Amino acid sequence: GAGVSQSPSNKVTEKGKDVELRCDPISGHTALYWYRQRLGQGLEFLIYFQGNSAPDKSGLPSDRFSAERTGESVSTLTIQRTQQEDSAVYLCASSLRRAGELFFGEGSRLTVL
């Protein structure tokens, strides 16, 4: 595709359920980022993937959060046992190289009831 694609665009779930968010980066982009954007807040770094290197997980807020990416393809962000404070827009971005211009998807809006 032409841009970063994220799905689902909206997800409503009950507290305690697991959710999986998907990101399809721009073809050829080796770097992939996940950010969280809470209402009225800035972008909070979660995790970074660069090619086949070990991911930088330093931003993950708890062990309920995990992410995977195979090579330079699709990434999934998984939140287990969701809590109400997990409600946010989860943004994925890809880049041609580390710390280059980030191209963001439109985000997945998660609402935990």
Residue 41 as a binder of other proteins (CB under 8 A): the answer is: yes
By the 8 A CB rule, do 59 and 44 touch? yes
Cis peptide leading into residue 55 (ω within 30°) = no
Residue 98 as a binder of other proteins (CB under 8 A): the answer is: yes
Residue 99 as a binder of other proteins (CB under 8 A): the answer is: yes
Residue 108 as a binder of other proteins (CB under 8 A): the answer is: no
Least distance between other proteins and beta carbon 6 (Å) = 8
Q: Of these, 2, 14, 58, 84, which contacts other proteins (CB under 8 A)?
A: 58
Quote the tokens at residue 39: 């209402």
Considering beta carbons, is residue 42 or 71 the nearer one to other proteins? 42
Residues in contact with 30: Cβ distance below 8 Å, sequence separation at least 6, in sequence order: 50, 51, 72, 95, 96, 97, 98
Q: Could you say which residues in the range 62-91 bind other proteins, by CB under 8 A?
A: 91
